[in-house]
Amino acid sequence: MFSARLPEDLHSNPLTRALRRLEAGGISFIDLTVSNPTRVGLCYPKGLFNSLNEASSDYEVHPLGLPTARNAIATYLRGGAVKVAPQQIVLTASTSEAYSLLFKILCNPGDEVLVPQPSYPLFEHLTRLDGIVSVPYRLEYPGLWSIDLDSVASAISSRTRAILIVSPNNPTGSYVTNTEFEELTALAKRYELALIGDEVFRPYPVATAFPPQPSVVDSGAPLAFSLGGISKLLGLPQLKLAWVAVSGIDSVVTETLARLEIAYDTYLSVTTTVQRALGSLLESGHGVHEQIATRIRHNFGVLQRVAAEVPSCRVLPVGGGWSAVIRVPAVVSEERRILDLLENHRVLVHPGYFFEFPEEAFLVCSLIPEPEVFTAGVARLINGLGRVPVT
Ligand SMILES: Cc1ncc(COP(=O)(O)O)c(C=O)c1O
């Protein structure tokens, strides 16, 4: 009766069952997987949402987005050294929707896109839901995460349409370097592939004195897309506004925008209200961005300090983003480890396999919880990691 776009087996896994048991027993735990910025005690300025109330009952339709909103994004991007004209910017309701629309204009059913591994777990669902196939290429860790460029080249087939890159990557925190962009662009040119760069965490470098990192927009690829959004930039996922900046050879960009316009006109999912409010949100929401940026740096410092107490655990370096990765001894499986941490130490972290790390054992934690909560959670985590769970 159903399509193969969703997995056949929808049954819960041991972790969701453990979470349900705790919930049923009214037992609390510290959640170090939280990714919802509206639930971590950030201070949203009074009046931030006023511009939404000012919107009228008028419905203004522009398939690619209102010119004022596209201008506001172009201005913001320029501040981060990304130069694209407002006409090259397209609004979407979310990054997920951006992926879906790009897949629709680039791929036929059964076509392939290359995705990094380890990375954002949603790629499998996003591609399957659009009837296409995600083919992994590897990130390797010889002391710093980098793209295994041979694995990219060997993953390309006659059905490949695009290479996805996430910079900085979730959860490894690694930015794509200039050299990697050069190699990826050479492949994109040779095989006529688009580069799709997920740059939602680009504005979150962990080091303070960090020069802006290269963007896919400047890669020189014949067709490149940079994805961003206020969900991460301003901690406002509830307003559903993201964007795609299109760059490349002029004639290809023009053709792409014409095709995107038809696809977007079919859905028109970004509200007039949020588009009209965007300029003001970008201005008055800057403080929220700063709070998150300060918090991830602070929390990462706490994690490094506390984890240093357990020599067998190693916090991997993070270039940017909202996550940190901890390498732990693979004396028990990641699943056993996270269940032990949850059930016996009352702290929740992600297992590495959730992101398809090449081997065990890695744990991933979010860097955006409130500092007091984060510090308490890390203390539980490190205490738990200091003991080997009974298998
Ligand atoms: C790499 C990456 N891209 C995109 C998203 C989602 O962005 P949005 O809320 O705009 O759909 C996430 C969410 O965690 C993410 O990790």
Q: State the average pLDDT over residues 167-178.
A: 97
- Give the residue from 223, 249, 284 where a domain finishes: 284
In a domain, 52, yes or no: no
Q: How far apart are CA 263 and CA 266, in angstroms?
A: 5
State pTM to two decimals: 0.96
Cα 294 to ligand 1 centre (Å): 20
Q: How far apart are CA 172 and CA 166, in angstroms?
A: 10
- What confidence score (pLDDT) does residue 12 get? 87
Residue 76 above 80 pLDDT? yes
Residue 391 above 60 pLDDT? no
Q: How far apart are CA 238 and CA 257, in angstroms?
A: 27
Average pLDDT over the chain, rounded to an integer:
95
**pLDDT band at residue 387, thresholds of 50, 70 and 90?**
confident
- What confidence score (pLDDT) does residue 7 get? 87
Q: State the average pLDDT over residues 3-24.
A: 92
In a domain, 50, yes or no: no
Q: How do strand 350-351 and strand 362-366 relate by DSSP bridges?
A: antiparallel
If one counts every other C-beta atom within 10 angstroms of the C-beta of residue 153, the result is 16
What does the pLDDT look like over 235-286, one tens digit per residue? 999 999 999 999 999 999 999 999 999 999 999 999 999 999 999 999 999 9
Q: Ligand 1 in contact with 111 (CB < 6 A)?
A: no
In a domain, 136, yes or no: yes
- What confidence score (pLDDT) does residue 56 get? 72
Please give the residue range of the domain that contains residue 156: 57-284
Which ligand 1 atom lies nearest to the CA of residue 96? 11
Q: What amino acid occupies position 76?
A: Y
Q: How far apart are CA 40 and CA 341, in angstroms?
A: 21
Residue 72 above 80 pLDDT? yes
Nearest CA to ligand 1 atom 4: 95
Cα 200 to ligand 1 centre (Å): 7
Please choose, from the candidates 382, 384, 207, the residue with its C-alpha nearest in 3D space to the C-alpha of residue 306.
Answer: 382
Residue 152 above 90 pLDDT? yes
Percent over 90 (pLDDT), the chain: 90
| CB 321 within 8 Å of CB 170 | yes
Q: Ligand 1 in contact with 172 (CB < 6 A)?
A: no
Q: What amino acid occupies position 78?
A: R
Total number of domains constituting the chain: 2
Q: In angstroms, how far is CA 98 from the centroid of its own chain?
A: 13
Q: Ligand 1 in contact with 33 (CB < 6 A)?
A: no
In a domain, 9, yes or no: no
- Report the alpha-carbon angle 174-175-177, nearest 5: 125
Same domain, 25 and 120: no
In a domain, 8, yes or no: no
Cα 19 to ligand 1 centre (Å): 23
Same domain, 133 and 19: no
The CATH number that applies at residue 20 is 3.90.1150.10
